[in-house]
Structure 1
Amino acid sequence: MSERSLKRLAGVHPRLVALVKEAASLTPVDFMVTEGLRTRERQMALIRAGASRTKNSRHLTGHAVDVAAMVDGQVRWDWPLYPRIAAAFKAAAARQGTAIVWGGDWPTLRDGPHFELDRKAFP
């Protein structure tokens, strides 16, 4: 895990930090953390830009992270990479007993880079 990714985990719930670190050791697709804890101002800017649709993002409380796939040192957004990363997150979550939600499993507005602690277990 890069120093930059570790810095982006500042303020993120410790259970999610542990999950990200284990997923990084399990995944066949390298990834970097692009965002963890967000300010309300940043969230509103993302809504205005069309990159988010909610004012109640789990990022605001440190219960979510976004990642980006890295291939040959370059960020890649190709969809097939993200289910492979998600499999590592889900395996780590099962091993740690941490309930998570992957944005790629959402029925609408699928968000492959997004992982969050399940609201039922982590309100």
Structure 2
Amino acid sequence: MKPNRQDLLVTRSAHELPAPYPADHERNLRRVKRRSRRNTILLLLFTLGLILYWNELPIPDLLEPEASVRDIPPVTGLHPIVAAKQNELIRLTEEAGITILITDGFRSKEEQDALYRQGRSDEGPVVTHAQGGESYHNYGLAIDFALRTDDGDVIWDLSYDGNGNGESDWMEVVSIAKDLGFTWGGDWASFRDYPHLQMDFGYSIRELKKGKRPPSGQDTSSP
């Protein structure tokens, strides 16, 4: 007996209907969506962490509790090793026929803030991008220098050759300073600070702001 036309239509419609999703498939979809949201959140947190790190902003340190800055004696002068190396720099450059003047050493946070305002809210050119507490000067770990000519003038001329040996006096001073363990601000990739010499002992500004300090007798090659 042949099926009638109505039976054929019913059979065909039943085959063309999509099969319902099994329950485990729906669970898998929900799991994938949750994982995707979690990965997105982790990526955003990682990106935010990088931004905070490169901008030297405080990040809660769960593994290492932050020291109480109130318990740390305030820095009031150059670190003893930096002071000794400064005097040695003056002596060695004098032996090379170059007279230098130390124009800045330890700088209080208030003095740093005043310099930061220059070229911004106050008149004058911009001379620093560091606010109070963000410069190695504020921790006694940096000095600035200039050259003094035979006439007694104080200059910041990188091409001046006062000892007549065919080399820049400025760069001779920088070379001697590097041999003593200083790093030079003129080597920085941005905002090169040519008079700046620092000896940070491997400590970052972030660590110094937390209250960490290099030991007074520490060798400059040790972090």
1:45 corresponds to which letter in structure 2?
Answer: A
* Aligned equivalent of 2:81: 15
Query: Whose RCO is larger (CA < 8 A, sep 6+)?
Result: 1
* Aligned equivalent of 2:155: 76
Give the gaps of 5 or more residues in structure 2.
1-75, 119-125, 160-168, 204-213, 215-222
Distance 1:69 1:48 in 2: 26
Q: Alignment length, in residue pairs?
A: 108
2:145 corresponds to which letter in structure 1?
Answer: V
Structure with bigger strand share is 1
Distance 2:90 2:191 in 1: 25
Q: Which moved more, 1:36-45 or 1:73-82?
A: 73-82
Provide the TM-score with structure 1 as the length reference: 0.78
Distance 1:30 1:37 in 2: 21
* Aligned equivalent of 2:196: 114
What root-mean-square deviation, in Å, do the aligned CA atoms of Structure 1 and Structure 2 show? 1.8
Whether the 8 Å contact between 2:90 and 2:99 is mirrored in structure 1 is yes
Distance 1:83 1:25 in 2: 16
* Aligned equivalent of 1:7: none
Whether the 8 Å contact between 2:136 and 2:200 is mirrored in structure 1 is no
* Aligned equivalent of 2:9: none
Give the gaps of 5 or more residues in structure 1.
1-9, 94-99
* Aligned equivalent of 2:25: none
Structure 1 residue 40: Cα displacement: 1.2
Whether the 8 Å contact between 1:23 and 1:91 is mirrored in structure 2 is no
What is the correspondence of 1:1-123 to structure 2 with a 5 Å cutoff?
A: 11-27=77-93, 28=96, 29-49=98-118, 50-55=126-131, 56-72=134-150, 73-80=152-159, 81-93=169-181, 100-120=182-202, 122=214
Whether the 8 Å contact between 2:184 and 2:197 is mirrored in structure 1 is yes
Distance 1:82 1:103 in 2: 13
2:149 corresponds to which letter in structure 1?
Answer: V
Distance 1:92 1:25 in 2: 12
Q: Which has the larger radius of gyration?
A: 2
Whether the 8 Å contact between 1:24 and 1:88 is mirrored in structure 2 is no
Distance 1:60 1:79 in 2: 26
Distance 2:100 2:129 in 1: 24
Kindly report structure 1 stretches of 4+ aligned residues shifted beyond 2 Å: none
Distance 1:51 1:14 in 2: 26
Q: Which moved more, 1:56-65 or 1:109-118?
A: 109-118
Structure 1 residue 119: Cα displacement: 4.9
